[in-house]
Structure 1
Amino acid sequence: MGLFEKIFGSHSDNEIKRIIPVVDKIEALASQYAAFSEEQLKAQTGILRDRLTGGATLDEILPDAFATVREASRRVIGLYHYRVQLIGGVVLHQGRISEMKTGEGKTLVATLPVYLNALTGHGVHVVTVNDYLAARDSEWMGKIYRYLGLSVGLIVHGLNNDERRAAYASDVTYGTNNELGFDYLRDNMVTYKNLMVQRDLHFAIVDEV
């Protein structure tokens, strides 16, 4: 480590320092969300979407959205996002790479920015390396999204165009890089727009980049 880095810190350290106040806001909401009834927690999806419609930005609703997913995850699948996972979630939302060690829960981390960005109604893609992981995560993590009122789709080999179109119309769509990539290429070769299976691309998270 050079003298400059010792004094001023690395770029990653400085970026994390900027994220810490956001994470503090999320953690400060924990007791409030833990006290919510099932109906109150599930209602947050509609409330947050109304805030977006009213002019709020994704960054402005991020603390409440992350707190919602965090509590829903605890209730539905028994997993609670740790502080380092909240940091990773903010990094992914910002469109950057979040490098985490094995066992630090990368799959769970992704639920935070996925839920937040799915609130726009434009759809979110979660890209995995194989059909098994896509199917597993769409069912496992999908329980959180469905609990909060979001739809979940799965793109795997063997689906026809109608099935693919329905999956892509979901709030959250899981699939492999091969399937999503080839669907994109095929969509760019069709003669008529109604033959396309994907809608406009909005936000994606690549698991194991």
Structure 2
Amino acid sequence: SRNDRTIKNLRKTVALINALEEQYGKLSDDELKAKTAEFKQRIEQGSTLDDLLPEAFATVREASKRVFGMRHFDVQMIGGMVLHQGRISEMRTGEGKTLTATLPAYLNAVSGKGVHVITVNDYLAKRDAETNRPL
């Protein structure tokens, strides 16, 4: 089906992200933080957000492991890519929608244009903003 083909293509990008995991795990906190400035510079030099996606997602995954002790799973990477494409990704309760949203939020933030994350109510918006602020 069309959906299966889409997921198959996204899994190729997940493999690229996963291939960076060991390398990014060896970066110091300062080196990991410096990735943001590097990405912003590359955008200014003509790179697209899609060009940066594997590295940006790997950066968020590593930061999340360090800050929250939580590692994004492959399915969350796929969800993040779908959201980045402006599509809807259905996830059940407890599958990590909030963690998933950190991926495209970070990627799109490096463009300097701002990012809006919408949720169903004010309580969740406040909770998730406060929870993810350290990331």
- Interval containing the TM-score (normalised by the shorter chain): over 0.9
Distance 2:128 2:30 in 1: 25
Superposed, which structure 2 residues align to 1:20-39 within 5 Å? 20-39=11-30
Gaps of at least 5 residues in structure 1 are 1-9, 145-209
Number of aligned residue pairs: 135
TM-superposed CA distance for 1:102, in Å, is 1.8
The normalised TM-score by structure 2 is: 0.97
Q: Give the TM-score taking structure 1 as reference length.
A: 0.63
- Corresponding position: 1:116 with 2:107: yes
2:116 alignment partner, SS class? strand
Cα deviation code 1:168-202 (max 9, x no counterpart)? xxxxxxxxxxxxxxxxxxxxxxxxxxxxxxxxxxx
Aligned residue in 2 for 1:56: 47
Give % identity. 59
The runs of 5 or more residues in structure 2 that have no matched partner are: none
For residues 100 and 35 of structure 1, the distance between their equivalents in structure 2, rounded to whole angstroms, comes to: 31
| TM-align CA RMSD | 0.8
Structure with larger RCO (C-alpha < 8 A, sep 6+): 2
**Paired residue secondary structure (2:117):** strand
Bigger-Rg structure (1/2): 1
**Which structure shows the bigger proportion of residues in strand conformation?**
1
1:101 corresponds to 2:99: no
- Equivalent residue letter for 1:57: T
Residue identity in the other structure for 1:119: V
1:131 CA displacement: 1.4
Deviation digits for residues 36-93 of structure 1 (CA, Å, limit 9, x no counterpart):
0011000000001111011000000000000000000111111110011111111110
